[in-house]
Each structure stands twice: as C-alpha cells, then as structure tokens.
Structure 1
Amino acid sequence: MVPNLAMWSSLRILRAGAAVARPAWSSIPRISLANYATVSTVRIGNLAPAQPKKQRKRLGRGDGSDRGGTSTRGNKGQKGRAGNGKPKPGFEGGQMPLIRLIPKRGFVNSHKQTFAPVNLDRLQFWIDQGRIDPSQPITVKELYESRCIHQIHDGVKLLGDGSKHLTTPIHIVVSRASQSAIKAVEATGGSIVCRYYNALSLRAQVKPHKWLLRNKPLPHFADPVSKRDLLWYSSPNNRGYLALRDAQRRAADKADSA
C-alpha cells in the first residue's frame, strides 16, 4: 500500500502536535553524567584510597595481557609447575646436596647450660660502692638490677676468683657455685644456697612486674626433672636447696616427735 498525500499531511500534523504538547517532567533541568560526580560530594563512584594502591599482576588472562599462556613461568620444567614450584632450601634437583657431602665433626649438646659468672671480688666491689645491700639476701634480681651481671642465660654461677677480697658476710641465692666460692662465703660468716631455676621462674624472678601489672600471681618455682640436676641440688656439699629442704624437714619431724 502506497501512502497518499492525505496520509502524509496527517502524520505531519500529529508530529507538530506532539512537539507542542510537551510533558511536565521535561521542564526539569537535566544533569549530564560528566557533571554528576562533581556536583555530589561523597559517593561510592568517586571514592579513592588515600594512598595509591599497587595493582597486583593478573596472570593467565590471555596472550594479549603479556602474562598469559605460561603465566611468566617459562616453558615446562619443575619451576613451571604448580605445587612443587619452589622446593625447600638445599634441594639440588635430586642429587646429593652439598650440606650432606661436607663431613661433620663433633656434636651440639642439647642439654648444655650457660651460666652468667660472678666473681667474689666483683661482688665485694659492688658492695663497697653501695650498689648491693649485703644486709638483705642477694638474688638474681639484685645482681641484674645493679648491673653486676648483664645477661642471665640459664642462671648465675658464683666463682671463687678474688676470694681474698671478700670481707663482708653475705647471704646469696644463685643457680650454681664453685667449692672455692662456697668456702670463701662461709668463712666470712655468710651463707649460700644453690636454687634451680627454669626459664619461666628466672623471668619471674628478674621481672615480677610483668605479672603484677596483669594482676596475676607469680609462677611457682619449678623443681628439676633430670637425674643430673636432682643429684646436684640434693647434695649438701653443693649447698643445694633440696638438701636444705630435707634437713629442715627432718629437724621439724624431730621437734614434733620430741
């Protein structure tokens, strides 16, 4: 069907009327999308991190990304696979590692203990300077706080070097003591007790404020578990605290029975 002139004229009249009769919402001013972010203050679309964020490498996204295909791992091989791409240090592809080819000499004693040494002449010098009060029992805490020792390690051992300079009677509690140090201390009228400390009890002895600030009780002193330490601290010749405890218990039992 071919449209005639009457139909064309009616279409023109309808279009002209539609242009004249505009709806009410068309009078609202429109804001372009380019100016939308500038007009609004804070929106999700214009949020950005305070510092520039480093973009991570997106591997395996096609050849056009320059990181597709083998994902920058090269062609085949052990390091091009997933899983065991990074073997542990010392692995040399299956051959005998160099660390196993080198001959070994000696061994490392896992039960070795390192004690901070304290000589009697140094202890007397600290007493003469007023850094240590001899009227009170001298423990690891007083030795460490007065800087008579700088590191505690596994405890403190009293040595008899400079015993002729010791003139003040002292009452000291340490981890170990030599026989010459024991004789020199007792010759001046003092006493010595060898006490076993583990790592936790040493830390509580030196820095008790860490428990007090948290309103927690101080940990109890631990007793030795190895046979060597039990025999050493049970010997009265070593002035061990276990031997002193047994002597006090026997004396108490004897007083009760009497």
Structure 2
Amino acid sequence: MFGAVALVPRIRALTGALRPVVSPIRTPMRASSYATSPIRIGNLTPAQPKKQNKRLGRGSGSDRGGTSTRGHKGQKARAGNGKPRLGFEGGQTPLTRLIPKRGFTNPHKQHFVPLNLDRLQFWIDQGRLDPSNPITARELYESRCIHRLRDGIKLLGDGSEHLRTPVHVVVSRASRSAIEAIEKAGGSIVCRYYNALSLRALVKPHKWLAKNEPLPHFADPVSHRDLLWYSSINNRGYLALRDRQSRASAPEAEAPPS
C-alpha cells in the first residue's frame, strides 16, 4: 500500500512531462496598427456611428412611411420643429411688449477702480510702494494694490486720518477730500487723462518693447466733459497745471536780457 502511494508523485510528474504545452497564438503585429502608425490623410477614417439614423418616408413597409411618424396634421406635424418662437403667446401682445422700457445703458459711462488712502498708506508701510518716487497706475498695479484697471483709478478720501507719508500720486480721478488729505500731509497729486491704449502702455510697456515698437503717446481728452474736468485746478487736472506752468514761464522768456 505504501509503495503505491509513493508511485503517485512519479506518475504525476511523468504525465505532466508528456502533456503538450499549448502556447498562446501570437499574431504578427500589423505595420499600420493604431499605436505605431503615423496619422496621415490616407489612413484617416470617419468615426462610425453607434446608432443608425431613422429613415423616414421610405414606404409603408418600413413602418415609417406615409406621415413619417408624425401623424395627421396638427402643430406637431409641421416643418420647423412645430414650435412657435420664444415669447410667442398665440397672437396676443406678449409680456415683453406690455411692460414699458425703463432705464438705459449709458455707453459713455466711465468705470474707475476706487482706491482709499488707508490702503495706500498700508502698502507704503509694508514696503510695497516707494513714496520717494511718483506713484502711478503702473506701481499700483504691479504691487497688487489694485487688481484691475478698467477706465482708470480714482483716489478716495476714506481713511485720510491714517495718511502720514508725503507722496506724489498720478491717477485718473481724485475726490476733494483725498486731494486735501494728500496736500495736508506734504504730498501732491495730479489727475491725468488716460484712454484704453495709453493706460495699457503705461502699465504693460513690455507688450510694445517685445515687438520693438514705440510706445504710444498719452492721449488728451476729446469730450467736452473731460476737457472741463481736467482743466479745473480744483480737481488738480493736468491741463490746468500745465497751463499754470506755461504762464509762469512766459514772463521769464519775454523779459529782456539785462
């Protein structure tokens, strides 16, 4: 009995050695396989649709002939999807025409980015702005004191009690309280007109320097409203300051030499 048990492993080993080894069928790879072949115009094929389109109106034997699954007459049997336009109320005056128009969108309205004096002083205290140099829209934008430009920057007088550093600021607009606070601290302010092109050239001059193109000149205001605003000395407009400087230098130029 023990001899028969000892022969079992040997029989299994012999039968395993005589058993044929079936190797997997290996098909030779095609030269134009999807992974290796380059994409050319000659081997492009359109994507095969997963669902076939319904063929309508091809006879009664197709179950979709005659009325083409639309039934007899009616709104849903008509061409153009059978639906009225958006807002159509069956012929009566629609709601969009019953209510009168109210308000309008002013295309000439200017949107300025507000900047308070306390935020300006906070940026100076942190060393993000240098008060020894003129502070323009470029310095304010690069220091992230403002995050967008829109039509310019308007300086407001909120937090004027925190302003203690004399600064020279050049912005698009400024309130009367902001002007008084800056001049009281020993600084100065000039309100300069910028159009979209000149403001972009001031903040991002590298756009022109990368193309070896000259920077565009600063534009002067064209509208009557802007001309009056920037010509007022109360607003510290640059036109009024330039006119004052030209008048101050005129007598010196006309004076005869001694």
Change (3 A) 1:181 1:95: same
- Identify unmatched segments of 5+ residues in structure 2: 1-29, 31-36
- 2:200 is aligned to 203
Do the aligned residues in 2 keep the contact of 1:73 with 1:80 (CA within 8 Å)? no
TM-score (norm 1): 0.67
Which of 1 and 2 has greater Rg?
Answer: 1
Q: In 1, Cα distance between the equivalents of 2:69 and 2:226?
A: 59
Q: Does 1:217 align with 2:214?
A: yes
Q: Identity of aligned pairs, percent?
A: 70
Separation (CA, whole Å) in 1 of partners of 2:216 and 2:208: 9
Alignment-derived partner of residue 97 in structure 2:
100
Instruction: Give 1:14-93 correspondences, 5 Å limit.
Output: 47-49=42-44, 52=47, 63=58, 80=79
Letter in 2 for 1:140: A
Q: Higher helix proportion, which one?
A: 1
Deviation, 1:100, is 2.3
Gapped regions of structure 1 (runs ≥ 5): 1-37
1:193–1:241 Cα contact (<8 Å) kept: yes
- State the one-letter code of the partner of 2:167: I
Q: 1:148 aligns to what? A: 145
TM-score (norm 2): 0.67
How much does 1:207 deviate?
A: 1.3
Which residue, out of 218, 228, 231, partners 1:231?
228
Shift in Å at residue 63 of structure 1? Answer: 4.1
Counterpart of 2:103, as a letter, is G
* Count of residues in correspondence between the two structures: 215
Amino acid at match of 1:47: G
Inter-partner Cα distance in structure 2 for 1:73 and 1:218? 66
| Residues 173 and 195 in structure 1, CA contact (< 8 A), matched pair in contact too | yes
Secondary structure of 2:211's aligned partner: coil
SS of equivalent residue, structure 2 residue 170: strand
Partner residue in 1 for 2:119 = 122
Change (3 A) 1:87 1:155: farther
Structure 1 residues 99, 136: CA separation in 2 closer, same or farther (over 3 Å shift)?
same
**Cα distance change of structure 1 residues 172 and 102 upon mapping to structure 2, 3 Å threshold:** same
Moved over 6 A (4+): 64-77, 85-89, 91-94
* Aligned 8 A contact 1:177 1:238 in 2: yes
- Are residue 179 (structure 1) and residue 176 (structure 2) matched? yes
1:102: Cα distance to partner? 2.8
Distance 2:65 2:218 in 1: 63
Q: CA deviation at 1:206?
A: 1.5
